[in-house]
């Protein structure tokens, strides 16, 4: 039985009719849809247990605190962190990367170097630009090769004794390239650089294991992995978190406060100032439970089959160009493509008229677009509820596009 036959009924939104057609949602890379289990867990939390966490000595406060901390346990298990103290909740990937950049940024000096890659989403670029500018550090990018993979020889040339940070994506949100995290971490460590991995497009689609990857930081968003908006995770390796002063301050992250100083709270709360996204944490627990029940290996296999079918199908349509690594190479659940003579915006609008939702534009990766020599692309992304039939609908619709404008 195909995975989508199990899952489709769990996603209420898939009942929607769009432009007179049943919704074909191929934009989970931007934000996935939510199974009923997530929606209900959050409603139930608000209807039964809501209060603030940690500071309330009453029944609801205790329930909310327990549910919030249970989410931490779920993430700890799901990503193979060494301890729950390494799991810090944020508002999302962008928030987590910003927090890391600000936190590490305080330790940077003039002449230090920050290394990113040409694949990066703006969220893993702009925070480093800001920090580099403030601290007088240099920002450099590892280029990609023609096949969309990172140029590791260039990485070796760019890594120097001055390199303090290597920040890179695990899976490209445009090309689907899976980067060799373990290998990059190994090389970065040889110059004692801190490694920061953007896992936004990886965690929803494949098994990730912090103990195997070995990176210092790893961040992702709840809303791309069947969970709610407004929550994300910043995993930080314990010795690194211990060595850093908090980047942001407020309540929750302190133990004792005087007018002119404070004593920081223990991990992980030291990095969680303010009231956290509690209902969102409850939703995230449900999303992780849902994915775990399906099994991440099955999820990856299902989405890989859809991706391969899409790449092969699109590449066979005259005038359609598919970006990213060749189909034989393992890649993420992302297929960016261009239709000759049509602008990506128009492709998305025309597909929407047939009920098919794809993303079009620069995908928050303008330097990568420039590298590819385009202003944007159209992009189909997949999740557990997508079916081979939906891929066929996409292919048929794209095949009919060229004559239509």
Partner 1 sequence: MSQAPSAANSIYSDVIRERWRRPRHRGDLPGATAVAEDVNPLCGDRVRLMLTVEPQGRIAAARFVGDSCAICTASADVIAELVSGRSRSDAVALDVADVLAVLQSEIRPTRMRCVTLPLTVLAKALNGGQGS
Ligand X SMILES: Cc1ncc(COP(=O)(O)O)c(C=O)c1O
**Quick one: how far is CA 174 from the chain centroid?**
12
CB of 197 to ligand X, least distance (A): 10
Q: Does 221 bind ligand X (CB under 6 A)?
A: yes
Q: Does 179 bind ligand X (CB under 6 A)?
A: no
Alpha carbon distance 297, 295 (integer Å): 5
Alpha carbon distance 88, 349 (integer Å): 39
Minimal CA–CA distance to 235: which of 258, 209, 265? Answer: 209
Alpha carbon distance 385, 378 (integer Å): 20
Site string for ligand X, 319-358 (x = CB under 6 A): ----------------------------------------
Find out whether 202 and 220 touch, Cβ atoms under 8 Å: yes
CA distances (Å), 311 to each of 1, 108, 112, 316, 364, in order? 23, 43, 41, 9, 22
364 as an active site residue: the answer is yes
User: Would you say 330 or 354 has its CB closer to ligand X?
Assistant: 330
Residues in binding contact with partner 1, number by CB under 8 A: 22
User: Would you say 165 or 397 has its CB closer to partner 1?
Assistant: 397
Where does this chain touch partner 1 (CB under 8 A) — which range of 5-13, 264-272, 289-297, 343-351?
A: 343-351
- Dig out the tokens for 182 from the structure: 């373990």
CB of 226 to partner 1, least distance (A): 25
Minimal CA–CA distance to 277: which of 221, 225, 232? Answer: 232
Q: Work out which of 9, 375, 389, 392 binds partner 1, going by CB under 8 A.
A: 375
Q: Work out which of 7, 123, 163, 265 binds ligand X, going by CB under 6 A.
A: 123
Question: 378 forms bridges with which residues in the sheet?
Answer: 337, 360
403's contact among ligand X, partner 1, none, with CB below 5 to 8 A by partner kind, is: partner 1
Residue whose tokens read 């890649």: 331
- Dig out the tokens for 36 from the structure: 């009923």
Q: Does 92 bind ligand X (CB under 6 A)?
A: yes
Q: Which position among 108, 311, 342, 364 bears the catalytic label?
A: 364
Residue list 376-405, contact with partner 1 (CB under 8 A):
376, 397, 400, 403-405
User: Would you say 19 or 59 has its CB closer to partner 1?
Assistant: 19
What is the DSSP secondary structure assignment for residue 310, as one 8-state letter?
H
Find out whether 291 and 225 touch, Cβ atoms under 8 Å: yes
Residues near ligand X (CB under 6 A)? 92-94, 121, 123-124, 169, 173, 198, 200-201, 221, 364
Residues annotated catalytic, as ranges: 364
Residues near partner 1 (CB under 8 A)? 343-346, 349-354, 360-362, 366, 369, 375-376, 397, 400, 403-405
């Amino acid at each position: 039985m195909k995975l989508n036959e199990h899952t489709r009924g769990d996603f209420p939104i898939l009942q929607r009719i769009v432009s007179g057609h049943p919704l074909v949602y191929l934009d989970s890379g931007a934000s996935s849809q939510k199974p009923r289990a997530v929606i209900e867990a959050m409603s139930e939390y608000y209807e039964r247990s809501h209060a603030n966490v940690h500071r309330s000595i009453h029944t609801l406060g205790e329930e909310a605190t327990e549910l919030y901390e249970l989410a931490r346990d779920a993430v700890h298990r799901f990503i193979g962190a060494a301890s729950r103290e390494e799991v810090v909740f944020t508002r999302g990937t962008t928030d987590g990367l910003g927090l890391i950049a600000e936190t590490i940024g305080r330790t940077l000096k003039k002449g230090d170097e920050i290394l990113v890659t040409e694949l990066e989403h703006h969220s893993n670029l702009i925070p480093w630009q800001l920090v580099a500018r403030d601290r007088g550090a240099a920002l450099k990018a590892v280029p990609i090769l023609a096949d969309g993979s990172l140029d590791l020889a260039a990485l070796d040339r760019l890594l120097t004794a001055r390199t303090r940070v290597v920040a890179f994506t695990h899976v490209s949100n445009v090309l689907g390239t899976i980067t060799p995290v373990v290998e990059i971490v190994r090389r970065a460590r040889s110059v004692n650089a801190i490694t920061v991995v953007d896992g936004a497009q990886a965690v929803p689609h494949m098994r990730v294991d912090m103990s195997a990857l070995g990176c210092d930081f790893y961040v992702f968003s709840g809303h791309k992995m069947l969970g709610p908006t407004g929550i994300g995770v910043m995993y930080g390796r314990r010795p690194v978190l211990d060595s850093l002063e908090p980047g942001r301050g407020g309540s929750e992250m302190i133990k004792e406060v005087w007018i002119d100083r404070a004593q920081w709270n223990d991990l992980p709360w030291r990095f969680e100032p303010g009231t956290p996204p509690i209902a969102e944490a409850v939703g995230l627990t449900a999303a992780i439970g849902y994915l775990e029940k399906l099994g991440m290996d099955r999820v990856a296999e299902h989405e890989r089959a859809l991706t391969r079918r899409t790449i092969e199908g699109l590449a066979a349509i005259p005038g359609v160009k598919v970006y990213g690594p060749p189909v034989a190479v393992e890649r993420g659940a992302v297929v960016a493509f261009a239709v000759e003579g049509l602008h990506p915006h128009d492709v998305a609008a025309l597909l929407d008229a047939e009920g098919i939702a794809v993303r079009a534009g620069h995908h928050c990766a303008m330097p990568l677009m420039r590298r590819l020599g385009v202003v944007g692309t159209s992009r189909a992304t997949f999740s557990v509820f997508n079916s081979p039939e939906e891929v066929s609908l996409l292919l048929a619709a794209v095949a009919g596009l060229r004559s239509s404008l």
